[in-house]
Amino acid sequence: MAYLLGVVLFALAILVSVSLHEAGHMLTAKAFGMKVTRYFVGFGPTIWSFKRGETEYGLKGIPLGGFCKIVGMTPQDDDVEPGDEHRAMWRYPVWKRTIVMSAGSVTHFALALVATWIIAVSAGLPNPDFPTTDAEARQEPAVIALARCVVPENAVRECATSDPASPAATANLRDGDRITSFNGTPINNYGELLTALRATKPGDTAQIGYVRDGQPGTTSTVLAQTQRPPLDDPKGAVGPVAALGIGLQFSTPTRVQYGPVAALGGTARFTGDMAVGTYEAMKRIPQKVPALWTAISGGERDVDTPISVVGASRLGGEAVENNAWLVFFMLFVSLNFFIGVFNLLPLLPLDGGHIAIAWFERVRSWVFARFGRPDPGRVDYLKLMPITYVVILIGGVFTLLTVTADVVNPITLFSR
């Protein structure tokens, strides 16, 4: 029941975000005097509507988005009534059209920023000083966190009765102990501990020096066996290696909680990191298509593959089911930021495509004027329709792939 509630809540959050996106277009257009004839939440048959002034507002039967109708978006539109020619959107200065067309993405960014600030104050944001790579983690002091057992396979799962107990726990080591030597080799960081451990074999007896509460100690234990790739090749073939049954206990907190003022800086830094991450993720989208097909055809789902709103809603459901509300709201933040960026891509029919054409017209007119040539006028959108259809087709196929993968082989964050 909690899972279903989470799915519905996240889907509703997406719907509200998209509705506010369209409201951003509508409000800025009205502020400049453009004519907006309709604003609806959803698509399909009208369930309920009312008219106020020259705009009809309402709710439609398919809650998969929303739209607003601004009269005369392009010179080729035939929706301009006599007497309203001066209010056609395409006749307005390019800077006004840019504001109107970018208002949707700005709304998404605003939602992401406000939610991030609230998270920074209430729960904390990821610590920018926390190690994010294996190389950084291996420079951390060798302070250990005990595992309950050693899982023989290179996998993440719960302990089974047949799994050997953690050798570190058998040796009476504790969470927070700092390993200082391993078989006589001094240990200065976690990377050196891993290297020394790999130099042994499963079944060997290890002599371990440690510090607990400032007091040194020694112990010994028989090493277990697990499966891991080489330290210098994380994607290499796995093989049997000795295991101590420990993890790294980081010396820096994973999250930092801010005061209301300091949260502004934390929000700005987190947003900058998210912008870089979004850019890198968008660059990888084409190469992830084969991985999506593999997931659909029965292969393992790569957690780095794109997800649709269906997948995002399912993850939201998992978060609520596991009382992980922070995960829920971080998903909301990242999704809004991604939609805001994606919508500004200079491709029709996206808002970024309309903005790019408006500025192309402006620059072309300026260049022609500099050379004493007559203004070439507006871009003929009808000539761009084949390219627009190609973009829509590619987007439709990609959406179908992600939705199908999210239904038949979804990404999961928690064990269910």
Domains (range + CATH), the chain: 98-129+259-416 (no CATH), 134-248 (2.30.42.10)
Q: Is the pLDDT of residue 231 over 80?
A: yes
Element (H, E) at 104: helix 94-122
Write the CA distances from 160 to 30, 150, 156, 190, 246, integer angstroms: 64, 9, 12, 27, 17
* DSSP 8-class letter at 371: T
| Residue 16 or residue 291, greater confidence | 16
Mean pLDDT of all residues in 290-301:
86
**Residue-wise DSSP of 172-234:** T--TT-EEEEETTEE--SHHHHHHHHHTS-TT-EEEEEEEETTEEEEEEEE-EEEEE--TT-T
Residues 6+ apart with CB under 8 A from 353: 345, 346, 347, 388
Q: Is the pLDDT of residue 155 over 80?
A: no
Q: Is the pLDDT of residue 288 over 90?
A: no
Residues 6+ apart with CB under 8 A from 246: 144, 145, 146, 147, 166, 168, 173
Decide: 265 and 192 in contact? Cβ < 8 Å. Answer: no
Mean pLDDT of the chain: 89
Q: Is the pLDDT of residue 226 over 80?
A: yes
Please report the pLDDT score of residue 3 as a whole number. Answer: 87
Please report the pLDDT score of residue 178 as a whole number. Answer: 94
Q: Is the pLDDT of residue 156 over 70?
A: no
Which residue in the block uniquely carries the two structure tokens 């001094």? 186
Q: Is the pLDDT of residue 151 over 80?
A: no
Mean pLDDT of all residues in 263-281:
92
Please report the pLDDT score of residue 336 as a whole number. Answer: 95
The residues carrying an active-site annotation are 22
Please report the pLDDT score of residue 83 as a whole number. Answer: 87
Please state the φ and ψ torsions of residue 216, each to the nearest 5 degrees: -75, 155
Q: Is the pLDDT of residue 154 over 70?
A: no
Instruction: Label residue 91 by pLDDT band (50, 70, 90).
Output: very high
- The 3-class secondary structure across 384-412, one letter per residue, is HHHHHHHHHHHHHHHHHHHHHHHHHCCCC
Q: Cα–Cα–Cα angle for 231, 276, 107, nearest 5°?
A: 145
Please report the pLDDT score of residue 157 as a whole number. Answer: 60
**Verdict on whether the full-model pTM lies above 0.95:** no
Instruction: Label residue 415 by pLDDT band (50, 70, 90).
Output: low
Proportion of the chain above pLDDT 90, given as a percent: 54
Dump pLDDT digits (tens) for 376-388.
888 989 899 999 9
Measured CA to CA, the distance from residue 304 to residue 282 in angstroms comes to 11
Mean pLDDT of all residues in 185-199:
92
- By CB atoms closer than 10 A (0-12, 13-18, 19+), residue 203 is exposed
Please report the pLDDT score of residue 330 as a whole number. Answer: 93
Please report the pLDDT score of residue 361 as a whole number. Answer: 93
Dump pLDDT digits (tens) for 63-83.
888 899 999 998 888 888 888
Write the CA distances from 284 to 47, 280, 340, integer angstroms: 40, 6, 18
Q: Is the pLDDT of residue 132 over 80?
A: no
Dump pLDDT digits (tens) for 257-271.
999 999 999 999 999
Residues 6+ apart with CB under 8 A from 120: 257, 258, 263, 266, 267, 270
Q: Is the pLDDT of residue 416 over 70?
A: no
Proportion of the chain above pLDDT 70, given as a percent: 98
Residues 6+ apart with CB under 8 A from 296: 401, 404, 405, 408, 409
Cβ-based neighbour number of residue 241 at 10 Å: 21
Please state the φ and ψ torsions of residue 176, each to the nearest 5 degrees: 95, -10
Residues 6+ apart with CB under 8 A from 409: 295, 296, 298, 301
